[in-house]
Amino acid sequence: MTVPAHPTFDDLLDRAGSLPLRRLVVLLCAVVTTLDGFDTQSIALAAPSISREWGVPAAAFGSVFGVGLAGSLVGTVLLGRLGDRYGRRGLLLASVGLFAGCSLLTPLAGSVPALVVARFLTGIGLGGALPAAITLTSEFAAPRRRGFVVGLMFCGFPFGGVLAGLVAAPLVPSWGWASVFVVGGVLPLALLPVMRSLPESPQYLLQRGEHARLDRVLARMDASGVRIAHTPAPPRSPVARLFADGRALGTVLLWTTLFLALMLAYLLVNWVPLVTRAAGAGPAGASLAVATLNVGAIAGCLVLGRIADRRRPVVVVGVGFLLGAVAIAGLAWAGGSSGALFVVTSVTGFFAIGSQMCLAAVCAGFYETPSRATGVGAAMGAGRVGGILGPVLGGVLLGTGYSSSTIFLITAVAAVLAAVTIVLAGRTAPRPSPVIVAEVAR
């Protein structure tokens, strides 16, 4: 393929010679998100065994679950900021090392307070890994398939949760609860040497003026005969750039969308099993309902992400949330039939949670290189707050006398609001300009 006289960096990403490196980035980042999802789910799977072994009530684990999400919130916001200062690759390696080490230390905790500390530190590493993986994948994905590729990579997170359940089922009865955390620590540690082959983002290296490292990455992309003109970053901090150049309102709307999207997602994940049990499906049926919700979410993310690559992403995601609202409302009347409930949960996962997962690519495309990791981390942090409040909101509503059907209708309203805010965010954001311009070396 001939390089145009004045191609953008996106043109270079479409070259066949860059495909092996792009595949490596997507694969390793997908493995990281899978391990992230595995470790996030592991504490819920180990909690019943820990409760019996330590002789503590199950209610005591509320703080353990909550502090893990709080640590993840800290990681997404603070470590995401470091990704724009020290690089996406370095942040990803450090975050994986942190949650791997803390996972291995978790079995040494002999009390609930010690477990709280271990899960908080683990959460910081888990939270830091996601924005780094999303940003790096986005900056190496060809533009015509960026939404699909980032979505495919992000599907590793729910897949990791499913994998944790499959691994824990035979492991915990035979080797005890500690074995889940040993697996959750050993696997990412074993991955770290392989992750050293990951390249740094060329856009980041250009902004930092690290031309020697940039040339090495371009050589791996089969673009060693290309020079890239330096475009200096604006003299603002990455945080300030989230609100500069006409992005202030869009940033707030994006945060609002993530807040609503994760609030409804976590509310569904926590309350769908209870509704399924109430419908007479039993424990196996409750697990199947959660499985159909997650499988639907993965399928929805991939399909909607592919459509978003051909249409306006914010419109596709907005329509997905609207259709998800209809499906969530359907949960209110499907509760009387377990068969109908399984169908509706899969459709709900496809549109409501699938749209939420597509937001990862939307966030990455919303900001330019100097503030992309910070922007992704901050948006995901807003989402984490919604994820923490979602299950709590469901419990409060149920405790005040609202039926489960009413709770689902309220959740459907949140999906409608998410559709409105993401479309408005897209309309208010300035059109991204190419940061990098390449010229054939003469």
Torsion region of 227: left, alpha or beta (phi above 0 gives left; psi -120 to 50 gives alpha): beta
Neighbouring C-alpha atoms within 13 Å toward the C-beta of 395: 8
94 & 136 share domain: yes
Who wins on pLDDT, 146 or 356? 356
Of 138, 157, 194, nearest to 22 by C-alpha is 138
Residue 175 maps to a domain: yes
Q: What is the pLDDT of residue 245?
A: 76
Point out the domain boundary residue: 206, 229, 252: 229
Would you give the distance in Å from CA 254 to the centre of its chain?
15
Q: Is the pLDDT of residue 19 over 80?
A: yes
Domain count, the chain: 2
Provide the token pair at 221.
């992309």
Residue 68, pLDDT score: 83
Q: Per-residue pLDDT tens for 204-223?
A: 888 787 888 888 888 888 77
Residue 225's pLDDT band, with cuts at 50, 70 and 90, is low
- Shared domain check, 219 and 321: no
47: nearest Cα among 72, 65, 70: 65
Whether residue 58 is found in the same domain as residue 122: yes
Give the confidence band of 412 by pLDDT, cuts at 50, 70, 90: very high
Q: What is the CATH number of the domain that holds 383?
A: 1.20.1250.20
Predicted confidence band of residue 441 (pLDDT cuts 50, 70, 90): very low
Q: What is the average pLDDT value for the chain, to the nearest integer?
A: 83
For residue 144, pLDDT over 50 is answered with: yes
Of residues 115, 119, 136, the one with CA closest to residue 33: 136
Domain boundary among 162, 195, 229: 229
- The residue behind tokens 């949650």 is 99
341 against 202, higher pLDDT: 202
Same domain, yes or no: 188 and 271: no
Do 255 and 358 lie in one domain? The reply is: yes
Residues 224 and 257 in one domain: no
